[in-house]
């Protein structure tokens, strides 16, 4: 068994690099298009009607993958959430 000793600044620098790498990998793995169920989960809603209202009002982008399959753009959902976020007091 080996023991590795680090000085405190080096330890925190290592932790910051690990966290940054994990965040980068998480961002890369985010899908470009989501199904209706995934979009509803990301938006925090449980009603398809609410999803349709948001979609039909032009607030999030979507595409018909086939006549019965609608996919929603992840970036537009993130933008919708950011635009509707309320600042704290």
Name the H helices within 7-47: 8-29, 36-43
Residues 9, 20: Cα–Cα separation, whole Å: 17
Q: What is the pLDDT of residues 18-65, one digit of tens each?
A: 888 887 766 656 688 999 999 999 999 999 999 999 999 999 999 999
The residue count of the chain comes to 89
Report yes or no on 40 lying in a domain. Answer: yes
pTM of the entire structure? 0.64
- Number of structural domains found in the chain: 1
Q: How confident is the model at residue 87 (pLDDT cuts 50, 70, 90)?
A: confident
Contact assessment for residue 89 and residue 47, using Cβ atoms and an 8 Å cutoff: no
Q: What is the pLDDT of residue 27?
A: 61
Residues 18, 15: Cα–Cα separation, whole Å: 5
Report yes or no on 45 lying in a domain. Answer: yes
Pick 6 or 44 by higher pLDDT.
44
Residues 48, 23: Cα–Cα separation, whole Å: 31
Report yes or no on 18 lying in a domain. Answer: no
Report yes or no on 8 lying in a domain. Answer: no
Task: List the domain range (segments joined by +) for residue 45.
Answer: 33-83
Mean pLDDT for 69-80 is 95
Report yes or no on 3 lying in a domain. Answer: no
């Amino acid at each position: 068994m080996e023991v590795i000793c680090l000085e405190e600044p080096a330890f925190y620098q290592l932790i910051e690099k690990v966290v940054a790498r994990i965040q980068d990998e998480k961002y890369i793995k985010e899908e470009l298009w989501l199904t209706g169920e995934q979009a509803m989960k990301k938006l925090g809603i449980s009603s398809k009607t609410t999803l349709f209202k948001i979609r039909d009002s032009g607030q999030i982008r979507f595409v018909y993958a086939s006549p019965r399959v609608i996919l929603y753009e992840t970036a537009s959902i993130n933008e919708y959430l950011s635009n509707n976020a309320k600042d704290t007091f």
